[in-house]
């Protein structure tokens, strides 16, 4: 590599690293104690850490909810040499890093080919980190797979790698994402769309074929695991699907939350007017109009993500894991229950607002700006801080470190009411 090229590569790497650090700092500002007073979340303490602690590397082959979760399992194994006291902070950092990495890659020059200025992508990346309707995906290992899935989409859309380390990065992201949930199967149609669009470019065609091959292998593995897992982690309650419930989910979990913030999400099921079917259908009509208009004027990057998001939502709603005491779709109309299933759709609606606000057609530009303003001026500031919960995890972790072998101990998790992690100390 010529000296000038080497210097340019170092400069780009330094810029990317600084952007990543800035994004992590922005995320930490939403919950300042996320690393210093960290707690385990959901499967962090039900599966990832205790399974690695109890059975070691064999946990990699154990599915949760019907599919493999390789990223979470690998992190659970990697932290075993560390004191238990440090584990929640490491898990929280991995969650933040996954989110920051997805935002950082969106700003890279490998996505310059879609005609979207980097400053516009930077603005969207910041908004993505400040989603006012999402707390499930913030700062925990369990849901880091969703941000890895966003990063996998960006890799599929990116220009072909030119260096060995870029190939290694792309294939690692696709493999880890594909083996950490059902995302390889759901991203396949978008990858095929990109391959067809770039079929006359030899380098892009080769990269597309390699990416598709990796995703196909991961999808085949996950389908085999799904087929051989008897109950797929099913809950005892029925699905309870209906068009009205779907409309309520989208209106409350996506539109109300993005436009008016977390408080509006919580009040939407009970506030007069907001909870009416008329308000629900009008809200859905506005969302569909924005989505349709953005698909019409947006480019391949938007359409590819929209397709991916719809498939992810459909897959999640066919087999959700939301409630053990009421029909699944009924539970999902109550924010923020299962909000992870709507994260991709929220990002799509957010992207649609940006696409419309940048449109050359005055009517669409006004439509996009009108949709963006409530989110920028009210929802994001009002929902900036994410609630934190203090537990006695640290005290219990210190006591566990001093306890004799065979000691059984329970460790609290968040959010409050979550079943605890249970460990029996090794001999």
Give the C-alpha distances (Å, rounded to integers) separating 343 from 83, 96, 408.
33, 15, 37
CA neighbor of 179 nearest in space, from 76, 74, 68: 68
Backbone φ, ψ for residue 419 (5° rounding): -60, 145
Tell me the HSE value of 361 on the side-chain side, using a 13 A CA sphere.
11
Q: pLDDT value at position 358?
A: 96
At 230, is the pLDDT very low, low, confident or very high (cuts 50, 70, 90)?
A: confident
What is the mean predicted confidence (pLDDT) over 227-238? 77
What is the mean predicted confidence (pLDDT) over 398-418? 95
Domain residue ranges of the chain, discontinuous segments joined by + = 14-233+391-427, 236-388
The tokens for 78 are 């990697």
Q: State pTM to two decimals.
A: 0.95
What is the mean predicted confidence (pLDDT) over 382-396? 93
Give the C-alpha distances (Å, rounded to integers) separating 198 from 72, 202, 219, 306.
34, 8, 23, 19
CA neighbor of 181 nearest in space, from 138, 209, 144, 130: 144
Above 90 in pLDDT, residue 254?
A: yes
To the nearest whole percent, how much of the chain has pLDDT over 70?
95
Q: pLDDT value at position 6?
A: 60
Q: pLDDT value at position 299?
A: 94
Distance CA 112, CA 103 (A): 14
Antiparallel, parallel or unpaired: β 408-411 and 421-424: antiparallel
The tokens for 362 are 């005055």
At 12, is the pLDDT very low, low, confident or very high (cuts 50, 70, 90)?
A: confident
Distance CA 44, CA 139 (A): 11
Instruction: For the chain, give the mean pLDDT.
Output: 93
At 36, is the pLDDT very low, low, confident or very high (cuts 50, 70, 90)?
A: very high
Cβ distance 232 to 226 under 8 Å? yes
| Tens of pLDDT, residues 298-319 | 999 999 999 999 999 999 999 8
């Amino acid at each position: 590599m010529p000296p000038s090229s080497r210097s340019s590569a170092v400069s780009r790497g330094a810029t990317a690293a600084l952007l990543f650090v800035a994004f992590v700092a922005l995320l930490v500002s939403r919950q300042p104690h996320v690393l210093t007073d960290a707690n385990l979340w959901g499967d962090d303490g039900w599966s990832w850490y205790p399974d690695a602690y109890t059975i070691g590397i064999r946990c990699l082959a154990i599915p949760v909810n019907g599919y493999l979760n390789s990223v979470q399992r690998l992190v659970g194994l990697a932290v075993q040499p560390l004191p238990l006291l440090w584990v929640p902070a490491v898990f929280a950092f991995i969650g933040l890093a996954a989110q920051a990495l997805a935002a950082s890659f969106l700003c890279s020059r490998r996505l310059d080919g879609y005609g979207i200025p980097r400053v516009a992508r930077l603005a969207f990346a910041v908004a993505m980190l400040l989603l006012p309707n999402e707390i499930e995906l913030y700062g925990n290992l369990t849901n880091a797979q969703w941000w890895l899935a966003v990063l996998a989409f960006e890799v599929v859309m990116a220009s072909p790698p030119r260096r060995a380390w870029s190939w290694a990065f792309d294939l690692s992201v696709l493999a880890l994402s594909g083996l950490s949930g059902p995302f390889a199967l759901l991203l396949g149609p978008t990858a095929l769309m990109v391959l067809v669009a770039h079929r006359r470019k030899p380098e892009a065609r080769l990269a597309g074929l390699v990416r598709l091959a990796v995703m196909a292998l991961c999808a085949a593995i996950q389908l085999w695991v799904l087929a051989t897992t008897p109950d797929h982690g099913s809950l005892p309650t029925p699905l309870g699907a209906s068009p009205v419930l779907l409309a309520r989910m989208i209106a409350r979990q996506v539109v109300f939350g993005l436009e008016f913030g977390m408080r509006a999400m919580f009040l939407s099921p009970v506030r007069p007017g907001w909870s009416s079917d008329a308000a629900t259908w009008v809200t859905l009509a506005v969302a569909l109009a924005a989505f349709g208009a953005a698909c019409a004027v947006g480019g391949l990057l938007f359409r590819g993500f929209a397709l991916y998001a719809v498939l992810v939502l459909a897959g999640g709603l066919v087999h959700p894991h939301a409630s053990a005491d009421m029909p699944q779709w009924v539970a999902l109309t109550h924010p923020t229950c299962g909000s992870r299933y709507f994260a991709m759709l929220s990002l799509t609606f957010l992207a649609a607002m940006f696409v419309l606000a940048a449109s050359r057609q005055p009517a669409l530009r006004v439509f996009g700006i009108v949709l963006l303003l409530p989110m920028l001026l009210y929802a994001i500031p009002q929902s900036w801080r994410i609630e934190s919960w203090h537990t006695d995890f640290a005290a219990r972790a210190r006591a566990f470190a001093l306890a004799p072998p065979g000691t059984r101990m329970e460790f609290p998790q968040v959010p409050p009411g979550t079943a605890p992690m249970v460990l029996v100390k090794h001999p």
